[in-house]
Amino acid sequence: MKPFDIVIVGGGGAGLYAAMEAMKTNPALNIAVLSKVYPNRSHTSAAQGGANAALANKAKDDSVEMHIFDTIKGSDYLADQDAVDVLCSEAPKIIRELENIGTPWSRMEDNTIAQRPFGGAGRPRCCYCADKTGHTILQTLYEQCLKTGVLFFNEYFALNLSVHGSRSRGLIAMNMKTGKVEAFPAKTVIFATGGYAKMYWNRSSNAAGNTGDGQAIAYRAGIPMKDMEFVQFHPTGLRKSGLLVTEGARGEGGYLINKDGERFMARYAKEKMELGPRDLVSRSIETEILEGRGFDSPAGKYIHLDLRHLGADLIKSRLPQIREMSLNFEGVDPIEEPIPIRPTAHYSMGGIDTDNFGRTVMEGVYAAGECACVSVHGANRLGGNSLLDILVFGRIAGHTAAEEAGKFEPGSISEEELRESVEEIRTRMQPSGHYERYGALREELGQTLALNVGIFRESSLLHKGIQDIAELKERFKKVRVFDSSDVFNTNLQQVLELKNMLDLAETVAVGALAREESRGSHTRIDFPVRDDEKWHKHTLATLVDGKAIPGEKPVTMGRYELQERTY
């Protein structure tokens, strides 16, 4: 295949913006987008809330500066302040650009883009399209990429980076339709494969494919991961699927009830009750469950979100989507029964370590979006900043790669390297004595992570988690692929995804053990307070001889001094 100037791995918001911007920066470039799903399926579509930008359409006194401060404070001061500067300054431009090319933003009475208040934001600056913001942004970007003629390789599963010394020569990927392993020699590669929170499996709200493929590939190629221990939990995920029940349910007056029939939030947040901040509600629910006041079921322990007292009329008129979700995914009608819920992992703050231009430590390799860690979210992401992150930094990574591609020699990938990738896959298909099922391992990984590397963390739990992950990795060697066909082998794909999750899970657990403090989403029972003296820094995890070696990196400060984070 003719060498590419840019190969973008991932067709979500970050990948598509990168492609669009790279085409704009230099239309002569040969650019490809590889995606393991059709781009319009990407998980960006699941983001309901919106994207923050200080347009000041709603609150006339809003400013980029206020957005910056809210983001830094929200991050528990772990975000790099120069990166947050970029994020927030670019925000209005990005939102308007999307508007200019067709995103159907909801509108205010004066016909400008509508904005609504969102958690942790001092002004109403979240731009939205009803409850389908991510979906419409993704559609817009995909449409524009089709318009520009971006070359798509849909349903290609990325396997490895081809590395030569200090730089990459391109990517190796499997064409799912044919099973063929193909070389994508490229001057530059951009990873935009989304987050890794699906490693918590059915304790995660993420799509089945959010398995951290890009991070795992980069990690195996020696690129460091940053702040991997920071995983955000949402308090109300459905018991069976982990899917989110949005805050609206509690906003309208829903109760959280334990198995003793008690509205237990009275013990944790006497005034705000169910409407306390997300992390507090998550921790409260988890405490109830850990202390034996949860309900039991084959799908695990849970508590009730009870809406029945609100009445059928209100539920039907104000919470129709929540009712539909509950009916579709749990088989429960909230008019008649409480909804079984428990906290669910839904966003990963950590990722591939990049600078403000999307560059990684490896020449010619870039990363953007939830896949990357710039870092703009630090220890805790604000609502409305995740979509913004993928758009702003997807665009920047596309632009940077397009500018820099000329610096690099066109890579080439040898037949031998391809054969190695094929061999690695083939060995899994050989039947040999005792074997392990990938499904069981996947579930066990989710369980141990939720239990030991979950909302509450503590030294002995984390040791247990690390040990479990090591054992799972050992057992993984015996996982067998039963489907021997070349055409669309989803059995093989899922096994390879599990491998990616196992590799990354170790970095999450190791980072969580190293960080002896509580900050943002990371709560250590044994170190309950933020320790700026020792831990106001990023953690790194680099793969050396098959082990995650911890490292660290300073936080870039700016105008804002460290302060206690209170709301």
Partner 1 sequence: MTEIIDQHQEGKRDVTFRVFRFNPQVDSKPYFDDYTISAERGITVLRSLNYIKEHVDATLSFRAFCQAGICGSCGMRVNGISKLACTSQVWDELDKCREPGIIRVEPLRSLPMIKDLIVDMDPLVDKMTRYSNWIDSTMPLADMGKKEFLISEEEFQRYDKATDCILCASCVSECSILRANKEYVSPAVLLKSYRMNVDSRDGIHDLRLAELVKDHGVWDCTHCYRCQESCVKSIPIMEAIHAIREDALESRGPRDTSGAKHAEAFMEDIEKKGKLVEATLPIRTNGVVWTLRNLLPMAMKMIVKRRTPPPPPLVKSAKGIKVFRAMFREMTEHVKQDHLKSHKK
Q: Which of residues 477-496 bind partner 1 (CB under 8 A)?
A: 481-483, 485-491
Q: Is 450 in the site for partner 1 (CB under 8 A)?
A: no
Choice from 71, 75, 115, 140 touching partner 1 (CB under 8 A) = 140
Active site residue 234: yes
Choice from 291, 296, 471, 516 touching partner 1 (CB under 8 A) = 296
Q: Which of 41, 123, 125, 234 is catalytic?
A: 234
CA distance 304 to 293: 11
Q: Is 427 in the site for partner 1 (CB under 8 A)?
A: no
Report which of 513, 200, 121, 556 is spatially closest to residue 378, judged by C-alpha positions: 556
CA distance 110 to 226: 43
Nearer to partner 1, 294 or 465 (CB): 294
The answer to whether 521 and 233 are in contact (CB under 8 A) is yes
Nearer to partner 1, 35 or 539 (CB): 35
- Please give the C-alpha separations between residue 447 and each of 49, 348, 475, 480, 510, in angstroms, as whole numbers: 28, 17, 16, 21, 17
DSSP three-state, residue 447 = helix
Q: Is 304 in the site for partner 1 (CB under 8 A)?
A: yes
**What angle do helix axes 64-74 and 81-100 make, rounded to 10 degrees?**
120
For 12-39, the DSSP string reads: SHHHHHHHHHHHHH-TTS-EEEEESS-G
Q: Is 447 in the site for partner 1 (CB under 8 A)?
A: no
Q: Is 317 exposed, middle or buried (0-12, 13-18, 19+ CB in 10 A)?
A: exposed
Q: Which of 67, 123, 250, 278 is catalytic?
A: 250
107 DSSP 8-state letter: B
Q: Is 136 in the site for partner 1 (CB under 8 A)?
A: yes
Q: Is 431 in the site for partner 1 (CB under 8 A)?
A: no
Choice from 17, 196, 201, 255 touching partner 1 (CB under 8 A) = 255
**For 227-244, b where at least 16 C-beta lie within 10 A, e where not — what string?**
bbbbbbbbbbbbbbbbbb
Q: Is 329 in the site for partner 1 (CB under 8 A)?
A: yes
Q: Is 248 in the site for partner 1 (CB under 8 A)?
A: no
Sign of the four-CA dihedral 192, 117, 538, 233: negative
In the region spanning residues 225 to 244, those forming contacts with partner 1, defined by CB under 8 A, are 240-241, 243
Least distance CB 83 / partner 1 (angstroms): 20
Choice from 8, 22, 88, 129 touching partner 1 (CB under 8 A) = 129
Going residue by residue from 37 to 76, which x/- string records binding to partner 1, judged by CB under 8 A?
Answer: xx-xxxx-xx------------------------------
Choice from 116, 164, 167, 259 touching partner 1 (CB under 8 A) = 259
Least distance CB 207 / partner 1 (angstroms): 4
Nearer to partner 1, 328 or 467 (CB): 328
Least distance CB 421 / partner 1 (angstroms): 21
The answer to whether 457 and 523 are in contact (CB under 8 A) is yes
Active site residue 169: no
End-to-end CA distance of the chain: 55
- Please give the C-alpha separations between residue 5 and each of 19, 35, 149, 170, 366, in angstroms, as whole numbers: 11, 17, 15, 10, 13
Q: Is 412 in the site for partner 1 (CB under 8 A)?
A: no
Least distance CB 452 / partner 1 (angstroms): 23
Would you name the residues annotated as active-site residues? 234, 250
